[in-house]
Amino acid sequence: MVYRVYRVRDVVRIPPEKFHKPLNIAAWEELRNNYEGMVTKNMGIIVTVFDVNVEPEGRIIPGDGATYHLAEFNMLVFYPFLKEVVEGEVNTILNHGLFVDLGASDGFVYINQIADERIEYDPTRPAMILRESKRMIEKGDWVRARVYNVAPMPGKGLRVQLTMRQPFLGKVEWIHKKQKTDEK
């Protein structure tokens, strides 16, 4: 996964109810509330804020009891890039594809991107069954896939679309079995 660290400057508002706390702690709490979970087009999903440095002398705006301080801080951001190979656990299987846990976000593999074979959805398990080889993908299986599209979804995070239709992609168990047979 691609995680990046950005150094950012911003003005942080410290509300009066936090004046009893040390300035760095109050600023860190406010910055976390403002940024964590936010999705930006250029950076991705902001996972956390850390290493906060706050200018001790703040500004007061008439009519607002808060103080405003210049702050400089780091943000840990998740943003997968196109053609990146990722691994994760299958956490949901639907009739049109499966979701893979990538950490800060889920990736989605459409049913036609799972394998080169015809695939059937078995709602009783739920599972995806490959018709010719009779192999199966179920919830909890570990898979390897390639990112082919990343797009922000307003209010929902990132849409990460994955494919497993290339060599050395798919259920990790299948990849290991193929490598062992190729070594013989």
Q: What are the tens digits of pLDDT across the range 100-118?
A: 998 878 899 999 999 989 9
pLDDT grade for 40, boundaries at 50, 70 and 90: confident
pLDDT: which is higher, 113 or 174: 113
Q: Could you give the C-alpha distances from 51 to 7, 8, 125, in angstroms and in order?
A: 9, 11, 46
Q: How many CB atoms lie within 10 A of CB 15?
A: 12
Residue for token pair 């976390």: 32
Q: In this predicted model, what pLDDT tens digit does every residue of 55-90 receive, in sequence order?
A: 999 999 999 999 999 999 999 998 888 898 999 999
Q: Which amino acid is at 155?
A: G
User: Phi, psi (5° rounding) for residue 122?
Assistant: -105, 100
pLDDT per position as a tens digit, 140-161: 999 999 999 888 776 666 788 9
Domains with residue ranges and CATH for the chain: 3-78 (3.30.1490.120), 85-183 (2.40.50.140)
Contact 47, 79 (CB under 8 A): no
